[in-house]
A and B are shown apart, each in its own frame.
Chain A
Amino acid sequence: MSMRWRSHVLHDSLVMASFARASLERISVVVTLCAWILCSAPALAQTPKHQSLAEWVTQLGSKDHRPRQEAYRELMREPSPRIIPLLGEQIESFAASSQTMACNLLRRLPFAQTRDLYKRLLDAKDPYLRAASAARYWQEAGSKVADRKRPLRVLLGALAECPDGRKMSMVHATSQVVDDAVFVELRKWLQPKKATHIVTGVLRELLRRERGVSVATSTAVKLLLASEEPRVLGAAHAYLLREDEAHEKRLAELSRKEPAVFWAVRDLLPTDGQHSDAIVSVIVAALLAPRSDRDVNQLAQMLKKHSAAPLGKALRELIGHDKDDIRTAALKQLSTLNGGLQAGDLKELLHSSAVIARLIAADTMRRRDDKSGLEIVLAAVPDAKKHKAEAARVLGRFRSRQAMPVLLDLLDDADEQARVAAWQGVQETMRSLFPYRNFAFDKAGYEPRASSRAAGIQVMRAWWGGAK
């Protein structure tokens, strides 16, 4: 049963259940279940696999997020040139988000096949479609100035007409266009009263396309300093701090008063990692109040290169965080930090009650040529539960004969991720331990995502039995 079908059935069942509660209170659960089965039958018969390309394209234009997203994923999997005429018929009638998805699909196809459609879209009513087509034409023109003239003219017109709601889609669709005239149009969007996401998004793009700060953008950004919106003000400081260090302090003060400012402007900070103490303190403050484990990873990367000491201190504090995923992310980051986990810490962690802590400690010790954590990992595998995949990954990295039987057992684990990690580990271990032998693992008949795996596992066990 595919995941998609399952989600259909789940959705239908929820609808049916609520319907049953509202109107038929006295009817027994058995009747409800019968109704559910009857309603689900068409869904079973109508598996999405059999949907034609035309139907997927029509579904792409849906106003509901879920079916639209589903169609997008399906079409993105293997973009076929056959969708070009289908999209050509409907793209102009699509809603904004569907148009964005359709343009993304077209970009995956060769220009030669999409040229005619793009040519038609250069005269489309919608500015976004005009801009996306012009950007593609501009890109294909290469260094031929004459060929770039018309698309550039269309693009500039579309940018000037663009409503606020589509500005960021427009920026992304034209991300390959590096031209001063386009920059001039984009700079016009840098206004104190514009929405924060537009200001930060445009600044990020300008920093990228202009390869750093430019005098013209600096001048435009200075106007943003009059904004009353703290995040817009923060974005201006984040841009200008490259020219004047005074902006670092102002940004730091602003972020301290309003933590949301930092989250809005973090992508605008210099990527070389050389931040002043004021900015480092702001990043550390944000790191200590992460919204998710992704924040921990991203902010740790920002500090890793030049501010390892404060980063280490902050990560240590996060090890005591309430959320499990944040604790794990902090510990993982700490383990990759040079000198982040000392020998004493590792010993303590190795005997911790948390499985993930034991795994991270053993892996860190392995990286330092201390394999004493292997026994701990081997013992932890049966109780690893949701960390089984991580356990398999760690085990594979030991490249040890001792780990092989456990890795072979994990090839048939219920957790797919654990199977994938174990299969990777088995291959790496065998290649390391037997450098004079030549392996063709694709001929072993094992595929971790397949439903029948017994034969492949049998082959691997037979070889290992003979070799060990």
Chain B
Amino acid sequence: MRFAATACIAIAALVGGTLLSAQAGARTSPGAASQGRTPEKTAAQITEPGRSIERPLDLVLAGRTNKPIERTLMVVVDASEGLAEAGFADAFAKAVIANKAVLARTKIGFGLVGTKDCVVVPPTLEHHTVVAAVRRHTSRGRSALRNVYESLRDAGAAMYRSKGERTLLLVTLENGDLEDEVEKTAQQLRKAKIRVEVLASETTLADSYWQRRPNQQKPTGTTLFGGDGAVVDVPFGFLFQYEPANEVTPSGYAMWGLNRLAAATDGRVFLHANSSQLQHTCAFRGQCLFCANDHELPDAGWNSALVTQMAPRTGARKTALKQLGADPCFRLVMKTWLSASKEGLIQSAPAVRVKATSASPDRVRAGRDLRLMLPGNFDRNAKRAEQAAKKAFRMRDQLAAAIKNLPLEGVSHRARASAEYTLVMMQLTRVNLLTFVGFCREWAPKWFDERGEVPLLPEVPPFDRNQHPAGIGYINLSLCHGVRPFYDVELPGDEEFRSELMKLDAMFNSFQRRYGKSQFGYALRRNGIARFYPAFLGIVKGPARKRPKSAAPPKGPITPRRPTRRGGGSGPATGPTTGGGE
């Protein structure tokens, strides 16, 4: 099937008109045009403002000329729960009626991701049949891992005979992260003069979700990567951070694979978010000590200029790695990340290996385990944490010095932001290690001392003193309100901890002055100060074994279900958003 699609698109490239390149010519440099390449854009250049579903449909259906010219528009939809809830079918029907005059000579087709050959209704001038098919197939959906890239290749093949301008509208709120030969797909569609317009959900900043779950079941031949850039270029998995900020920080852009397709074919990316996604939450899996879910984030409205500065590139992954390898700041971040992971300060290692002047993909690895959360000897844990805190102190100073010495040229804004973010995070890790030391030395022994004092009411002992802890757990107290409010909070730790907390406050404020109102400022607020607690063994009941209803094995492959994810880019209802596309 893939071979057939490729062949069809190749033929289309030969017989197709030059309309698209003529239109794209205004944006394409002469050199790039003569070589058949489009100049590399950033995600900011191809991402349209707004988060509604109506505007993209209106713009795409009206076409770029807004005139009733001969066109073919193939709408490829990845039906999901989120799309059904967003009322896509109604919005599409309304847009078709509103643009009736402009669509007079436009053949519209409909394709469904996950069906054989993708095309459900071939391009036709009878638009009502398409509207009916869209309604039938998108009014309900199931979250599953589906290969949109394969469907795009199939849909592209169905368009090769069509005359005039060719546009393919891909609507997917979930599946842009299931990559399948992205570059090949982009090339085929570009050669067939098919412009890809994308309506997708916003992903997170350097999303680490799939990198942390390398064993996720997925369709054969595909890879899972959901970040906004070609690689994960912001460190994640800092010690004592329960959930990486990379998985809950809106990036302002769609997933790299979708951006790549749109950029390679001179298309655009539209983002969609529902109203529940626009609500602010101080902590996703942590706790906020300072508000009752009524926080008005000072940088809720993002600075579009800053967000644009931090936009990832949309070039091919190979090109991106080449460029990143030449960026001294990126190299510095990767080196720091690697050494921090070896010291156990970061629980992940970079999936990019930097050499003298280049970068290449590397396998996914975990960082060193400092074995701080083991039960039994709190004093031993405290000593280990003290050593780690010293290392964090040293690495923070080394990184600060290296950032100061960075050359002014050849450093991207994004890489610099990533480096400075890493610097503040090293300080936060040090603060967390020091409070852990305090917890192990002051609080935990007091709680388990049988001769200890009984607290005054209304305070009561947190647990039975005869119980034996099976380990140490933690949650994060969100930094959404900044560091200063923690001055009033009773936290374990000595004078050194207090002074480091004040340093963290200064660094946090300095970082927010520079990167507040951008994805990096927001990311820093998604981290937190750890609150530790002794963990006890509970009664754990394993999940019930799934048995097939009949003895016969299931026929054919089963599409893997997409795991539910909070605040992530791939979830249907709680994906991130920058709040209006600013």
Contacts and interface: CB of A to CB of B under 8 A. Distances in A.
Interface of A: 305, 338, 364, 367-369, 397, 399-401, 428, 432-441, 443-445, 459-460, 462-463, 466-467
A439 B459 contact: yes
Contacts of A428: 292
A368 B458 CA distance: 32
26 contacts: A364-B296, A368-B298, A397-B294, A399-B289, A401-B488, A432-B289, A432-B290, A432-B489, A433-B289, A434-B490, A435-B289, A435-B477, A436-B443, A437-B455, A437-B459, A437-B462, A438-B459, A438-B462, A439-B459, A440-B459, A440-B460, A441-B458, A443-B457, A443-B458, A459-B458, A466-B456
A464 B295 CA distance: 27
A434 B482 CA distance: 18
The 5 closest A-B pairs by CB, nearest first: A444-B458, A438-B462, A432-B289, A440-B460, A367-B296
A404 B369 CA distance: 42
B407 interface: no
A400 B275 contact: no
Given A433-B488, A435-B531, A460 B458 contact: yes
Most buried by A among B455, B457, B485, B531: B457
Contacts of A437: 455, 459, 462, 490
A367 B295 contact: yes
B491 interface: yes
Contacts of B459: 437-440, 463
Contacts of A443: 457-458, 460
Interface string B444-480: 0000000000011111111000000000000001000
Given A338-B300, A436-B492, A436-B531, A369 B460 contact: no
Nearest to B488: A401
Interface of B is mostly: loop
A177 B300 CA distance: 44
Contacts of A305: 275
Most buried by A among B287, B477, B488: B488
B289 A436 contact: no
A433 B296 CA distance: 21
A226 to B, nearest CB: 28
Contacts of B485: 399
A459 B457 contact: yes
B291 interface: yes
Contacts of A438: 459-462
Contacts of B289: 399, 432-433, 435
B488 A400 contact: yes
B481 interface: yes
B542 to A, nearest CB: 30
Contacts, number: 79
B489 A433 contact: yes
Nearest to A439: B458
B491 A436 contact: yes
B52 to A, nearest CB: 10
Contacts of B455: 437
A434 B460 CA distance: 13
Most buried by A among B289, B294, B458, B477: B458
A456 to B, nearest CB: 9
B228 to A, nearest CB: 26
Contacts of A466: 456
B488 A439 contact: no
Contacts of B488: 399-401, 433
Nearest to B492: A436
Contacts of B491: 435-436
B489 A435 contact: yes
B294 A367 contact: yes
Most buried by A among B287, B289, B461: B289
A101 B462 CA distance: 47
Contact of B291 (A397, A434, A436, A459): A397
A444 B477 contact: no
A437 B287 CA distance: 15
A262 to B, nearest CB: 25
A399 B477 CA distance: 14
Contacts of A462: 456
Contacts of B457: 440, 443-445, 459, 463
A407 to B, nearest CB: 14
B490 A436 contact: yes
Nearest to B438: A436
A388 to B, nearest CB: 20
B298 A369 contact: yes
Given A338-B300, A436-B492, A367 B531 contact: no
B460 A439 contact: yes
A149 B72 CA distance: 53
A428 B489 CA distance: 13
A459 B460 CA distance: 13
A399 B457 CA distance: 20
A156 to B, nearest CB: 31
Most buried by B among A432, A433, A434, A444: A432
Nearest to B482: A369
Interface string B187-226: 0000000000000000000000000000000000000000
A124 B62 CA distance: 63
Given A399-B290, A435-B477, A463 B460 contact: no
A399 B291 CA distance: 8
Given A435-B531, A443-B460, A463-B456, A397 B292 contact: yes
